[in-house]
């Protein structure tokens, strides 16, 4: 049995190497690749993912997993080995249920849809994208049907990103969250707006870059195992725990853009750098789920990076870097400015208080599409109606509305809610950390982020993908995903800033 | 048969994708990879090369090649298809002799050795690199033994880079060359030295970088299909004809270093960019051999880039970029300065007249290591002794001696002599081009490099790996590799500069 386990690990290592190589190619595609490289890169990525897939769903792998089934009973159920076999088994069953012809066809459909989406955005022409999106929605339903019977047609889609999470749970969580968030935003709307004009000045790119790197260095990002580069759409990517890279995008006329992007991606990367090296080259050597990942990025970006204690330490340093821009702006004004709440049209530019509403809108539309309650043709209207309901805004065109995100054109149905779930988890963990480290706020005020990192390493990072997200949250925070702490956090924070 | 040919091409495309992906990983390893990524990168490269190897030497491939054997008789012997089958057959026979476990292990060993070499250089500590090099030498011998019986243990190593070339031929060519080069250098040594002190000033890095890029843009390097980055040891690499990248190393206190490195790598890259796109994703989609490759880089670097007509055009522009450094240096002085002959320690900084002696030294040491006439432990001493014999110099430390080149750490035994063979070929081609384009010198003087490029595209570049190097040289220049034209070239050029 020990031998079979070794053979399983050998095969998984080969698959992991192929996936990490593909990740490297993708990193280059988004950072340095010249345009002439696109076609060959597509071929290379296609070949690598197809070989990795075939190796993972091979008969030999199936046989090994079957043979190892009984062996798990002999193992400590929380051991790396028992969990590995369990997770691989689960992934194997999922992947073998989807015929490879479907995978290939879906890949072609998405590739065409992505091009059509780009054209539709350029010409503000939803009708051009519509037939492609219809095809994608239809294929997502087909995908779900490979997993029938299910409680809800949306469950198999959600499960791709959030193992074990059910549509009903997400709906319950969001039903509790929505009225409270809408109420909060309305209350803020009745108050005087804070000033953030000082954030919209000229900030030299190189200085922004260096300051962001200085902050995440303090957080514990390890530069011997990573680096930062520029990308149009910032992302974090890893090729093993020894090489976890981030990217950012600097706006020379708006301080928030590059800075909080670096903090956000830094949070993702610190997570990946903290995965136990024992899990290297196995299926478990990455974050537990998208929501758990987002809990880490949002914690470093928002709970820490937009907090008063954090800036008590860092603001004088930032003022030194930008004396003419910020020399006359005091800490209180700065703190309020970076936390300004204002309903806006674009998700990726939304503040903490309105962000989740952007997500709920998308989740509800996705579910309605899957349930056949909504036709793709009616999507722009449904989008705009909800924007009006939740945020009091109507997009002037579809490019700033239903066409704004890349996700649907890439077939990523089931993905959006993980952003909001991540927000919720971040606060649950944050509360748990403060319970266990009572003087954490003082430490942060002194620029000491080491016990925070130690807690996250111990309770979240090192486990990698060993535990399902709900189980991991319960182990670390004492309860499953719960919106109440997040609402309390928003109310406390914005109650103070806007004197509600 | 047509179907079988298509199947062969499909399989070759998969192998090419894997090799191009590995090349991408290697590019990153030498440009941007953080140190923590080394171990995982070694695994990834090992896995990719092992899968590519297994796919290439598969039984199915063997059967296809056997089936297609008779088909080649029906084809035009110079057609892409006939040549492809022939070259693949030859590579298949070579590769089936090397077990895939060896290939994977060699890849891992080299990856580790490369890291150790970098550390050894930093600390001038050959002993740190020694065990890694011993392992590499041992594995090179093992490699050669897969091809026993051979005329010489070094033949199979040479054949990896110079298909069809024999150790004895190279030794013959070098025996003819060595006394003439030594004689030339002695004659130069008796003359007054030219002044090149103006090259050793502060030259702003960014301006050097931009000037180098400007020159190769004029040469015809296509930036939509490439880019330039920094690397400790400059190299050119391709991931398809649409993505051919170069790297350089700038010395802010010495103009030659970055400039001629960019011209040199530009020559390699222009070659790869010129391979016919019909050959893409086949075994033929790259340069014919290292010597042919070097003939292109040396032609652009030396025959063109260190020539008087070239600088008649570019020198005024360079003076504009560096007015305080070069404003008072006239063209004749500059031309002599960049062509100064002076025995020196570092191969990549050696002048045209002494360069080949650096190569002969390495070739002799490699052959001695392979023949077990020399132990790795004694290599620094043997290196220094030969440096004294050939160039009258003793390296002050191993970093400037035996540790200076990346090649051995990368397992590239058999490689060095191709640099000198490339020098020889470059002049043979240069003579042929001038025969066919009588006013080429005038064109160069006017900054017009288009007919030069057109000739190279037609006679060398587009063919890729279709022809063996000796055959290609004969087709293009009318004779096989021959040292006589090169010696005439050196005597003519330096006879004038040093008034011999």
**Where residue A321 sits, what CATH number does that domain have?**
1.10.1370.30
Sequence-distant (≥ 6) Cβ neighbours of residue A44 within 8 angstroms? A25, B17, B18, B20, B21, B24, B239
Among B48, B60, B99, B26, CA closest to A52 = B48
Instruction: Give the model's pLDDT for residue B101.
Output: 87
- Residue A355 confidence (pLDDT): 96
Shared domain check, B233 and B114: no
Is A47 close to B240, i.e. CB distance below 8 A?
Answer: no
Closest CA of chain B from A116, distance in Å:
24
What are the pLDDT digits (tens) for A228-281?
999 999 999 999 999 999 999 999 999 999 999 999 999 999 999 999 999 999
Q: Which stretch of A294-303, A447-456, B38-47 has the lowest confidence by average pLDDT?
A: B38-47
* Residues of chain B positioned with their CB less than 8 A from the CB of A39: 240, 242
Compute the average pLDDT of residues B52-76. Answer: 94
B161 assigned to some structural domain: no
Quote the minimal CA–CA distance from B20 to chain A in Å: 7
User: Which residues are paired to B254 by β-bridges?
Assistant: none
Could you tell me which residues are beta bridge partners of residue A38?
Answer: none
Model confidence at B326, pLDDT cuts 50, 70, 90, reads very high
Q: How far is A349 from chain B (nearest CA, A)?
A: 30
Q: What residue of A is the nearest CA neighbor of B226?
A: A34
Q: What DSSP assignment string belongs to A192-227?
A: PPPP-GGGSS---HHHHHHHHHHHHHHHT--GGG--
% of chain B exceeding 90 in pLDDT: 93
- Which region holds residue B357: left if phi is over 0, alpha if psi is between -120 and 50, else beta? alpha
Question: What pLDDT, on a 0 to 100 scale, did the predictor assign at position A104?
Answer: 87
Chain A neighbors of B226, CB-CB under 8 A? 34, 36
The pLDDT of B352-364, averaged and rounded, is 95
The pLDDT, as a whole number, for residue B367 is 96
Residues A142 and A207 in one domain: no
Nearby residues of B248 by Cβ (< 8 Å), 6 or more positions away? B209, B212, B228, B230, B231, B234, B258, B261, B262, B265
C-alpha distance from residue B462 to each of A160, A171, A220, B151 (Å): 47, 61, 51, 33
State the Rg of chain A over Cα: 23
Cis peptide leading into A149, omega within 30 of 0? yes
Query: In terms of DSSP bridges, do strands B236-238 and B244-248 run parallel, antiparallel, or are they unpaired?
Result: antiparallel
Beta strand A228-230 with A244-248 is parallel
Which of the 8 DSSP states describes residue A278? G
B97 and B228 share one domain: no
Cis peptide before B481 (omega within 30 of 0): no
| A160 and A127 within one domain | no
Q: How far is the C-alpha of B489 from the C-alpha of B426, rounded, in Å? A: 11
Crossing angle between the packed helical segments A167-189 and A417-436, to the nearest 10 degrees:
80
Q: Can you give the pLDDT at residue B349?
A: 83
Measured between beta carbons, the chain A residues lying within 8 angstroms of B213 are: none
Q: Which residue in A12, A40, A51 has the most chain B C-beta atoms within 10 A of its own C-beta, making it the best mutation to test that interface?
A: A40
- A95 and A204 in a single domain? The answer is no
pLDDT of residue B142: 97
CB A177 within 8 A of CB A390: no
Strand pairing partners for B238?
B244
Percent of chain A topping pLDDT 70: 100
CA angle (B365 as vertex; B417, B118 as ends), nearest 5: 85
Q: Provide the number of structural domains found in chain A.
A: 2
Return the residue in B13, B14, B25, B34 with the most chain A beta carbons within 10 A, the one to mutate for interface testing.
B34
The alpha carbon dihedral of B222, B225, B230, B231 has a sign of negative
Q: Cβ(A295)–Cβ(A422) under 8 Å?
A: yes
Q: With 80 as the cut, is the pLDDT of residue B100 above it?
A: no
Task: Report the alpha-carbon angle A167-A168-A169, nearest 5.
Answer: 90
Q: Which residues in B have their CB inside 8 Å of a CB on A?
A: 13-14, 17-18, 20-22, 24-25, 28, 32-41, 43-44, 46-48, 51, 222-227, 229, 239-240, 242-243, 245, 280-281
Q: Which residue of B has its CA nearest to A281?
A: B40
Average pLDDT over chain B reads: 96
Q: How many CA atoms lie within 13 A of A298 on its CB side?
A: 26
Mean pLDDT across A346-372: 96
Look over chain A and give the mean of its residue pLDDT values, rounded to a whole number. Answer: 96
CB-CB under 8 Å, A34 with B225: yes
- Cα→Cα distances A434→A100, A274, A428, A441, Å: 48, 20, 10, 8
**Do A476 and A342 touch, CB atoms closer than 8 A?**
no
What is the model's pLDDT at position A449?
A: 98
Is B227 within 8 Å of A34 when comparing Cβ atoms? yes
Cα A174 from chain centroid (whole Å): 18
B6 and B127 belong to one structural domain: yes
Looking at residue A29, its pLDDT comes to 94
Instruction: Summarize chain A as % helix, strand, coil (round to 5).
Output: 70, 0, 30
Taking one residue from A and the other from B, the number of pairs with CB-CB distance under 8 angstroms is 127
Rounded to whole angstroms, the Cα distance separating B194 from B333 reads: 8
Cβ of B34 within 8 Å of Cβ of A224? The answer is yes
Could B36 and A280 be called an inter-chain contact, meaning their C-beta atoms sit closer than 8 Å? no
Q: Which residue has the higher pLDDT, B261 or B1?
A: B261
The secondary structure of B316-331 as a DSSP string is: HHHHHHSHHHHTT--H
As for the ipTM of the complex, it is 0.93
Kindly state the average pLDDT of the residues B160-166. Answer: 93
Residue B220 lies in a domain: yes
C-beta atoms surrounding B369 within 10 Å: 25
CB contact under 8 A, A46 and B281: no
Q: Which of B26, B31, B35, B47 to mutate to test the interface with A (most CBs of A within 10 A)?
A: B47
For residues A250 and A257, is the Cβ–Cβ distance under 8 A? yes
Residue B487, domain member (yes or no) = yes
Cα three-residue angle B5-B9-B13, rounded to 5 degrees: 175
Tell me: do A143 and A239 sit in the same domain: no
Last residue of a domain, one of B152, B187, B221: B152
Within 8 A by CB and 6+ apart from B258, the residues are B205, B208, B209, B212, B248, B249, B250, B251
* H-assigned helices in B32-77: 38-56, 59-69, 71-74
**DSSP annotation string for B80-129:** HHHHHHHHHHHHHHHHTTS-HHHHHHHHHHHHHHHHHHHHHHHTT-HHHH
Nearest CA among A356, A358, A342, A300 for reference residue A199: A342
Handedness of CA B399, B405, B410, B415 (dihedral sign): negative
Measured between beta carbons, the chain A residues lying within 8 angstroms of B12 are none
pLDDT digits (tens, 9 = 90+) for A21-74: 999 999 999 999 999 999 999 999 999 999 999 999 999 999 999 999 989 889
Amino acid A85: pLDDT: 97
Interface residue of B15, B24, B206 to substitute, partner A, most A CBs within 10 Å: B24
- List residues of A with catalytic annotation: 265
Residues of chain B contacting residue A41, judged by C-beta atoms under 8 Å apart? 239-240, 243
HSE-up (13 A, CA, CB side) for residue B274: 25
Same domain, A62 and A10: yes
B246 has which bridge partners?
B228, B236
Q: Do B243 and A40 touch (CB under 8 A)?
A: yes
| Bond prior to B440 in cis (omega within 30° of 0) | no
pLDDT at B382: 97
pLDDT in tens, A171-208: 999 999 999 999 999 999 999 999 999 999 999 999 99
CB contact under 8 Å between B18 and A47, yes or no, is yes
Residue B107 pLDDT greater than 90, yes or no: no
Q: Which domain holds residue A141?
A: 2-151
Last residue of a domain, one of A151, A171, A195: A151
Of B37, B223, B226, the CB nearest to A242: B37
Q: Is B229 found in the same domain as B126?
A: no
pLDDT band at A217 (very low <50, low <70, confident <90, very high): very high
Do A111 and A222 fall into the same domain? no
Residue A35: its chain B contacts at CB < 8 A? Answer: 224-225
Length of chain B counted residue by residue:
500
**Is B281 in contact with A43 (Cβ distance < 8 A)?**
yes
Instruction: Answer with the one of B121, B152, B183 that is the final residue of a domain.
Output: B152
Nearest by CB to A32, which of B222, B227, B281? B227
**Nearest-CA distance B365 → chain A (Å):** 36
Q: What percent of chain A has pLDDT over 90?
A: 97
CB within 8 A of A434, min separation 6: which ones?
A: A440, A441
Both B73 and B119 in one domain: the answer is: yes
Measured in degrees and rounded to the nearest 5, phi and psi for residue A446 equal: -100, 10
Whether the bond between A210 and the residue before it is cis, its omega within 30 degrees of 0, is no
What span, in angstroms and rounded, lies between the C-alpha atoms of A139 and B455?
A: 53
The verdict on a CB contact (< 8 Å) between B34 and A229 is no
In sequence order, the 6+-apart residues with CB closer than 8 A to the CB of B189 are: none
Q: Does B394 lie in the same domain as B370?
A: yes
Helix or strand run (H / E) with residue A364: helix A352-370
The count of C-alpha atoms lying within 13 angstroms of the C-alpha of B424, restricted to the half-sphere facing its C-beta, is 25
Taking an 8 Å cut-off on Cβ atoms, the answer to whether B41 and A243 are in contact is yes
């Amino acid at each position: 049995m020990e031998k079979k386990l070794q053979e399983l690990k050998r095969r998984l290592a080969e698959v992991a190497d192929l996936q990490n190589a593909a990740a490297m190619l993708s990193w280059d595609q988004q950072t340095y690749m010249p345009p002439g490289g696109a076609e060959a890169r597509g071929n290379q990525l296609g070949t690598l993912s197809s070989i990795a897939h075939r190796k993972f769903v091979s008969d030999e792998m199936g046989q090994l997993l079957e043979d190892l089934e009984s062996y798990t009973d002999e193992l400590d159920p929380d051991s790396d080995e028992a969990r590995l076999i369990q997770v691989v088994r689960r992934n194997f069953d999922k992947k073998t249920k989807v015929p490879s012809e479907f995978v290939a066809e879906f890949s072609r459909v998405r590739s065409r849809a992505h091009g059509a989406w780009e054209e539709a955005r350029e010409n503000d022409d939803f009708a051009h994208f519509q037939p492609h999106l219809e095809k994608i929605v239809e294929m997502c339903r087909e995908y779900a049907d490979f997993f029938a019977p299910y409680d809800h047609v949306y469950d198999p889609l959600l499960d791709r990103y959030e193992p074990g999470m059910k549509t009903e749970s997400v709906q319950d969580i969001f039903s509790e969250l929505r009225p409270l968030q809408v109420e909060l935003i309305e209350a803020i709307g009745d108050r005087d707006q804070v000033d953030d004009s000082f954030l919209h000045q000229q900030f030299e790119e190189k200085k922004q870059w260096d300051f962001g790197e200085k902050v995440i260095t303090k957080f514990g990002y390890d530069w011997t195992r990573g680096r930062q580069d520029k990308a149009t759409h910032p992302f974090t990517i890893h090729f093993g725990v020894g090489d976890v890279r981030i990217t950012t995008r600097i706006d020379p006329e708006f301080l928030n853009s590059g800075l909080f992007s670096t903090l956000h991606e830094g949070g993702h990367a610190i997570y990946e750098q903290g995965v136990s090296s024992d899990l290297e080259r196995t299926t478990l050597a990455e974050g537990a789920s998208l929501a758990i990942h987002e809990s880490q990025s949002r914690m470093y970006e928002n709970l820490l990076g937009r907090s008063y204690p954090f800036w008590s330490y860092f603001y004088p340093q930032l003022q030194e870097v930008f004396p003419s821009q910020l020399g006359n702006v005091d800490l209180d004004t700065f703190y309020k400015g970076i936390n300004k709440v204002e309903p806006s049209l674009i998700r990726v530019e939304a503040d903490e208080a309105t962000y989740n509403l952007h997500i709920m809108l998308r989740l509800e539309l996705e579910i309605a599409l899957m349930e056949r309650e909504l036709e793709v043709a009616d999507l722009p209207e449904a989008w705009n109606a909800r924007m009006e309901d939740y945020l009091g805004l109507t997009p002037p065109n579809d490019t700033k509305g239903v066409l704004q995100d890349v996700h649907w054109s890439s077939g990523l149905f089931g993905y959006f809610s993980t952003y909001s779930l991540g927000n919720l988890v971040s606060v649950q963990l944050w509360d748990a950390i403060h319970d266990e480290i009572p003087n954490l706020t003082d430490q942060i005020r002194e620029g000491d982020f080491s016990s925070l990192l130690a807690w996250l390493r111990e309770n979240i990072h090192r486990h990698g993908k060993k535990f399902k997200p709900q189980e991991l949250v319960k182990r670390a925070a004492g309860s499953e995903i719960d919106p109440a702490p997040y609402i309390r956090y928003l109310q406390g924070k914005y109650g103070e800033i806007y004197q509600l």
